[in-house]
Amino acid sequence: MNQRLIWIIGEYAERIDNADELLESFLDTFPEEPALVQLQLLTATVKLFLKKPTEGPQQMIQAVLNNATVETDNPDLRDRAYIYWRLLSTDPEAAKDVVLAEKPVISDDSNQLDSSLLDELLANISTLSSVYHKPPEAFVSCVKAAPRADDEEFADAGETGYSESPSQGVDGASPSSSTGTSSNVPVKQPAAAAPAVAAPIPDLLGDLMGLDNALVPVDEPTASSGPPLPVVLPSTTGQGLQISAQLVRRDGQIYYDISFENGTQGVLDGFMIQFNKNTFGLAAGGPLQVPPLQPGSSARTLLAMVFSQNVSPGAPNSLLQVAVKNNQQPVWYFSDKGSLHVFFGEDGKMERTSFLEPGNLYLMTMNIQKNTPILSSAA
C-alpha cells in the first residue's frame, strides 16, 4: 500500500503542495521499509527534486542517496541509487529526460481484432499466430511440407482411409507423370453398362496402392455450403484441378469439407481419396461423393470422418497428408493442417468411450511419457 502512495506522490509532485512533507514522513523509517518501498521512495524523491529543485528536496535527495548507497546491502537499490546520483551530478537536464520521460498511453486493443482474424487465431491456438496476433501466412512464406519418414508407409495406411466417388470411369490410361507431386497410375476399364441400382464398387485407389480390393458401398452425396475453403492443391500444381479443403465440425460429427474445381479441357470423374496415418487416427468414413466435373465447373461435398487405429507414431502433429485421384489424372498428394477446435465437443463433455478412442488415448500416453522421466526413458 505504501509503495502505491509513494508512487502517486512522486508522479504528481508538481500538483501536490506538501509533496516534500509527505515523502519526508517515510524517510524516517527508510532502513526498515521493504525493498519495493525503498526503491519506490528513491525514485519518487528523485522525481520531486527534478520537479521542485528547492532546498527541502535537495536535503531529502542527499539523505536518500546516502542511505541507498552506503547503508544498504540490496544490490538493486544500490545500483539504482548510483545511476541517479551520476545522472544528477553530471547533467540534471538529461536526468529529467530519463526519469520524467513521457509514458505511452495505456490502451486495451484486445477487442479491436477483426472477428474473422480472431476465429483464425483461435483455430491456431498454442502456435506463433496466437502470440503475434497474425495469421500464419502473414509471417510464414514456406508452404511446402517437409518430407516425413512415414511417407513411404502411405500406401499401407489401411482400407478405412480410402473412398471413391460413384462416377463412372473412362477408357484409357492416366497421362504421363507430372512434377514431384504426382505419379502414373493405371485406371481400370469401366463396366459395359451402368447398373440401375447403386451397388458396391471396388476401392480402386486402395487396389492401385497395393491394398486389398475392398468393396465400398455407394451412399448419397452430402452437400456442403459455407465460406470459401483454403486452397490445398492449386491448379498450377494439379494440372488444372484445384482442390480446397478443411476439417469442420457439424452437429457433433467431424467432416472433411472439400471442393473441386475443374480448370482442364475435359471431364474429370471417378474421384477417390486416402488419408495417411495421422496423430488423431482420422480416416474417411465412407466414399467420396463427387459428380463428374465438366470443364469450368466445380463441386463441393462433406466427407464424414471416423477415428480408426491408423495412428501415426512420433510427436503429435495436426498435419493431415491426403492423396486424391480421378480417372483422368495421376494421384495428387497434399498436406492440410487440421484445426484443433474441430475435435472439441460442443458441450465440453466427453464420454469414457470417446476419451479412450485411439487419437485421444495416444495424446494422453504421449503427455504422460513426456512428463514422466521414467516412462520417457523406457519408451
Taken as a whole, the chain contains a residue count of 379
Residue with cell 461423393: 289
Residue with cell 521542485: 52
**Does residue 106 sit within a domain?**
no
pLDDT of residue 89: 86
> 208 and 316 share a domain?
yes
> 288 and 369 share a domain?
no
> 170 and 21 share a domain?
no
Percentage of the chain modeled with pLDDT above 70: 67
Classify residue 323 by burial, with Cβ atoms within 10 Å: 0-12, 13-18, 19+.
buried
> 252 and 180 share a domain?
yes
> 340 and 362 share a domain?
no
> 19 and 160 share a domain?
no
For the chain, how many structural domains are there in total? 4
Min mean pLDDT across 60-69, 194-203, 237-246, 249-258 is at 194-203
Rounded Cα–Cα distance for residues 137 and 371 (Å): 32
> 362 and 261 share a domain?
no
Q: What is the pLDDT of residues 92-103, one digit of tens each?
A: 888 888 888 887
Q: Cβ(239)–Cβ(247) under 8 Å?
A: no
**What pLDDT band is residue 348 in, cutting at 50, 70 and 90?**
low
Question: pTM (2 decimals)?
Answer: 0.42
> 276 and 249 share a domain?
yes
> 155 and 81 share a domain?
no
Domain residues for the domain of 137 are 113-142
